[in-house]
Amino acid sequence: MRRRISEQVAVQLIEAGVESGFGLVDEAKAHRIQGNGQFSSRALQEAEAIVADIEQRLAQLGDSEALPFLPLLAELREQIAAAGRGET
């Protein structure tokens, strides 16, 4: 079945959010290594906000559309938590 345009846009926004979230985690790690704890914390806050946005968008999709993103979202949450603990 073909996706409605709104579903296609939601999926694209989720994909972009996942990519941005992982990018922010990488930025947080780099800033921490450079001794910029404030920037590191801010990047992790932004990543957490992206996770919340992704969760809202997934809730609007059907289960079959949301299911492929759940492992990525779990990995992103784990990466944010690890970066917050100072793990690389």
- List, for residues 26-51, the tens digit of each pLDDT value: 999 999 999 999 999 999 999 999 99
Report pTM. 0.89
Q: Give every residue of the chain whose pLDDT is below 70, as ranges.
A: 1-3, 88
Residue 76 CA: distances (Å) to CA of 17, 35, 49, 61, 71: 10, 23, 12, 19, 9
- Give the pLDDT score at 3: 64
Local structure of 26: helix, strand or coil:
helix
38 Cα distance to chain centroid:
20
Tell which CATH classification among 1.20.58, 1.20.1300, 1.10.20, 1.10.3470 matches the domain 5-84.
1.20.58
Provide the pLDDT for residue 88: 64
